[in-house]
Amino acid sequence: MRLQVSCFEANVCRRALLGRILLSAQVGLLLVACAPEGPHASADEIEHAKQIYTACVEDELGLELERLEISSNGDIEVEFAPGYSQHELAQAAAICEPRIGSVLEPGGTSVLGPPPNLGRPGSDAELAALLAERARLGFEGAILVEAAGVRRIEAGYGRRSLDSSSTPDTRTAFDCGSIMKDVTAATIFLLDEDGVLSRDQPLSDFFPDLPSVWSAATIEQLITHSAGFGEYHDTQGDFEPMDRAQALAAIFAQVPRFPPGTDTAYSNSGYTLLAALIEQVTGDDYRSVVRERVFEPVGMQRSGFYGEALWSDGNVAVGRGAEQYGSNDPARWPAPTWALLGNGGLVSDLEDLLRFARARDREELFHLSTRAAYWRAQPSGSIAGKSMTGSAGGNDFGFNAVAIQVAEDATYVVAASHVLSPVSAEILGVEVLQTLYGAVLELP
């Protein structure tokens, strides 16, 4: 059975496409939002809207899309797989739909669209206007921007928690999610620089019980997500109890998504393997090695892992997201298990994220040749004809963080958010970068 829905009285639909939610226990959700009659969106705009909406509902809310149709006049029909909650449906309408409204409906609030100052650098007033608008749309968190050694933005919005009247700032600690992967990769490159390992080495050199199906996989392929391992090795989420032996057994038991080196697919499991490898070659605890090789040399004094005593001053953001674990305070969460080690669990502030970004551009962390190799292994794009690299992370508890850098100009944009809203830190970071340069970010 399927729901039959027609878009009658389309003129009553809201500008941001927050349409009616219709439920059916048999077929999942069919959500219909109606735009005014008449063609508006091009085929490219529709495809762009689909990509934004799909990433939002699947990656951020964890809902499974079964069908998504968007017409040229902005009508949207969405069908989710069974198993959703009404709270999740409300979040899909309140968070994901506004992100595509500006793509489909001219005159709507532009979220992730081209900057209004396209073709010329943005002024301080234009940056301030963008930030004020994003705060009105629900952004809560902090942002720090440095360009050519000049601090252009240092701002916080919202509240650190529902129980606090304090606004987040650049020293507020946030869960930074997968930005931990950059730290893990940097540690591997430093060990390679020391001759402790070679990134070209196969995993079989380090794990004698490695199944033969993984014998050709290399350290470099783990770093670049091209070894073929699965996205996750846990079954219960980030806080699943799991020791290193259990993690390795679960990861090695995976069926390859593709032969190592023949494709790429994002893998948290691969970075947990890198953490295990770091322990294997150093004989020390992964977290201790990361502190010694990265945090301490760079001066990242407020960076650590869940549950540590680094943030006793209470300047910590408490998450408000799709899920709840304890108080949603990363300073009070239990230490990461091997479900998360290597691929997540980083708690940091924007000042430290900026230090880490700067250090990777200079010779504070790597030798020149190592630095070049490190950046070749990182995802990249371009802005105004200049190379851009960036990373982001987040989870289901409301947290999102981004670090973007344009090394040629010594330009850095770091942001973190802790409340699930139409504007995440990652979205805001990209929008600020585009406004800075008056250009559209181009990705491969």
Q: What is the reported pLDDT for 278?
A: 98
Under 8 Å CB-to-CB from 11, ≥6 apart: which residues?
36
Whether 76 and 200 share a structural domain: no
Whether 295 and 186 share a structural domain: yes
Q: pTM (2 decimals)? A: 0.81
Quick count: other Cβ atoms within 10 Å of Cβ 191? 20
Whether 88 and 180 share a structural domain: no
Residue 293 inside a domain? The answer is yes
Average pLDDT over residues 211-240: 96
Whether 342 and 432 share a structural domain: yes
Residue 341 inside a domain? The answer is yes
Confidence of residue 307 (pLDDT cuts 50, 70, 90): very high
Residue 415 inside a domain? The answer is yes
The residue among 381, 390, 407, 392 whose CA lies nearest residue 146 is: 407
The residue among 107, 88, 278 whose CA lies nearest residue 194 is: 278
Domain total of the chain: 2
| Domain stop point among 104, 127, 143 | 104
- CATH number for the domain spanning 201: value is 3.40.710.10
Mean pLDDT of the chain: 87
Does pLDDT of 24 surpass 50? Answer: no
Residue 340 inside a domain? The answer is yes
* Residue ranges making up the domain that contains 271: 174-437
Whether 92 and 182 share a structural domain: no
Whether 233 and 333 share a structural domain: yes
Where b means 16+ CB within 10 Å and e means fewer, 315-346 reads bbbbbbbbeebeebbbbebeebbbbbbbbbbb
Confidence of residue 110 (pLDDT cuts 50, 70, 90): low
The CA-based dihedral angle spanning residues 326, 273, 295, 311, taken in that order and rounded to the nearest 10 degrees: 10
- CATH number for the domain spanning 94: value is 3.30.70
At 100, give phi and psi (nearest 5°): -105, -10
Q: Both tokens of residue 134?
A: 């994003």
Whether 53 and 186 share a structural domain: no
Residue 144 inside a domain? The answer is no
Whether 245 and 344 share a structural domain: yes
Q: What is the reported pLDDT for 105?
A: 60
Quick count: other Cβ atoms within 10 Å of Cβ 296? 12
Whether 417 and 278 share a structural domain: yes
Q: What is the reported pLDDT for 102?
A: 59
Residue 88 inside a domain? The answer is yes
Does pLDDT of 28 surpass 80? Answer: no
Whether 334 and 205 share a structural domain: yes
Whether 218 and 336 share a structural domain: yes
Q: What is the reported pLDDT for 41?
A: 74
Length of the chain: 444
Q: What is the reported pLDDT for 283?
A: 97
Average pLDDT over residues 288-312: 97
d(CA 275, CA 202): 15
Average pLDDT over residues 124-149: 95
411-425 pLDDT, tens digit per residue, is 999 999 999 888 999
Q: What is the reported pLDDT for 178?
A: 96
Average pLDDT over residues 172-197: 97
| Domain stop point among 104, 127, 160 | 104
Q: Are 214 and 256 in contact (CB under 8 A)?
A: yes
Q: What is the reported pLDDT for 241?
A: 97
Residue 122 inside a domain? The answer is no
Residue 271 inside a domain? The answer is yes
Q: Are 440 and 124 in contact (CB under 8 A)?
A: no
Higher pLDDT, 21 or 239: 239
30-70 pLDDT, tens digit per residue, is 444 444 444 467 887 788 788 888 888 888 788 899 999 88
Whether 91 and 238 share a structural domain: no
Range in 22-36, 61-75, 160-174 with the lowest mean pLDDT: 22-36
Quick count: other Cβ atoms within 10 Å of Cβ 39? 9
385-403 pLDDT, tens digit per residue, is 999 999 999 998 999 999 9
Helix (H) or strand (E) holding 175: strand 174-177
Does pLDDT of 249 surpass 50? Answer: yes
Does pLDDT of 173 surpass 50? Answer: yes
The residue among 296, 432, 429, 430 whose CA lies nearest residue 350 is: 429
Under 8 Å CB-to-CB from 310, ≥6 apart: which residues?
173, 301, 302, 303, 304, 331, 347
316-343 pLDDT, tens digit per residue, is 999 998 789 999 999 999 999 999 999 9
Q: Are 412 and 404 in contact (CB under 8 A)?
A: yes
Confidence of residue 103 (pLDDT cuts 50, 70, 90): low
| Domain stop point among 84, 104, 124 | 104
Q: What is the reported pLDDT for 233?
A: 97
Q: What is the reported pLDDT for 101?
A: 67
62-101 pLDDT, tens digit per residue, is 889 999 988 877 677 888 888 888 878 878 887 787 777 6
Range in 268-282, 373-387, 405-419 with the lowest mean pLDDT: 373-387
d(CA 174, CA 160): 10
DSSP 45-90: HHHHHHHHHHIIIIIIS-PPEEEEEE-TT--EEEEEPS---HHHHH
